[in-house]
Homo-oligomer: A and B are copies of this chain.
Amino acid sequence: MKRLAFTVMLLSAVAFSSTAPAKAQQTATSATSSKVESSLFTVKVISPEIREITYANGPFNFIEPDTLVQLNDIVQRLAQESDVKVVVFDSGTAGFFYNHFDMGQFPAFVGQVGKSNKPLWVELISNVERAPFITIASIRGRTQGGGDELTLALDLRYASREKAIFNQPEVGIGLFPGGGGPDHLAKLTGRDRAIEAFLSADDYDAATAERYGWVTRAVPDAELDSVVMKMATRLATFDKQALIATKQHINSTTLPTESERLVSYNNFVQSLSWSGLQQRMGVFGKLMQDVGVEKVETQMGHYVGVGNENLQKSKK
């Protein structure tokens, strides 16, 4: 506990985030409320059966504690709308789909508890997976860390061949990737490719992601919107009972269980006290200051490497 507190102070001290700390505290206290305004999301009615959830938290589309609260609220509300059959997830921030957790706000994330007294993140992923509608990711831009782990919980993933990039940076900064991503990805790509993706913390383009099974399909960027909307429109004419029963049946034989994801999440929380993370916080904080957040976020694979090389040199 003492070590966690220390890490928390350390994390608050480094400039990993452009958001004000005050905002994070607000969120931590309001996490259990269901009346949070969706300041980060726009929910658009495409048709009676189709919704589009656009995430816009520019300039980097980090996932913040507010993201979890608002998205969980939206997903639960849409689950009540009996007409809704398909929900498209896209991004309103150029260059990014869902990005990683805002690393300056780990303490706030750890404090977030859902309705069933489980971590809010675990509850959010369960609600997304169990939602009585088909979830489709329209992936344009970088999809990193927790943002990719959320994406892996969606039913279908269509990625822009030119503009989608995937990266799981956790291991590279000394953290356990506990958002359920390894559990999801290993079932899609097989053991070795999941190990490669999560251990290398490197960039994967859409073609490689498609070959690995990380996304359902990679499509030319110019066709992404029409591919997604064509699928959504087609499914929207089908019988909802047939769609949902079949989705849930396939999910029941393929998804990691909530308990498995809970174990993973607890490993992540534990890893916030690891000394390897503490060593890397300073290094990456300095790197961010030297080259700027934008460069690091848009060349994540490269800079995870640079940060660790710098650390290794400093030890010698």
Name A residues whose Cβ lies closer than 8 Å to a Cβ of B.
134, 155-157, 170-172, 174-177, 182-183, 186-188, 190-196, 198-202, 213, 215-216, 231, 234-243, 245-247, 249-251, 253-256, 260, 264, 267, 271, 274-277, 279-280, 305, 308-309, 311-312
> How often does this chain occur in the complex, in copies?
3
Q: Which chain B residues border A243 with CB–CB below 8 Å?
A: 171, 199
Q: Given B190, B215, B276, which contacts A240 in the complex, CB threshold below 8 Å?
A: B276
Contacts A191-B251, A196-B216, A250-B198; is A311 near B237 (CB within 8 Å)? Answer: yes
- The A contact surface, by secondary structure, is helix
Distance (Å) between the CB of A303 and the closest chain B CB? 12
Name the B residues within 8 Å of A215 (CB-CB). Answer: 192
Cross-chain contact B176 with A246 (CB below 8 angstroms): yes
How many angstroms between the C-alpha atoms of A193 and B175 in the bound complex? Answer: 30
Residues of B within 8 A of A311 (CB): 237
Minimum distance in angstroms from A239 CB to a CB of chain B: 3
A274 and B242 in contact, given A183-B253, A234-B305, A253-B256 (Cβ under 8 angstroms): yes
Could you write out 7 A-B pairs with CB less than 8 Å apart? A186-B250, A187-B190, A191-B254, A195-B250, A200-B234, A234-B308, A239-B274
Report the separation of the CA atoms of residues A267 and B177 in the bound assembly, to the nearest whole angstrom.
37
Q: Given A237-B305, A280-B239, do A246 and B198 touch, yes or no (CB 8 Å)? A: yes
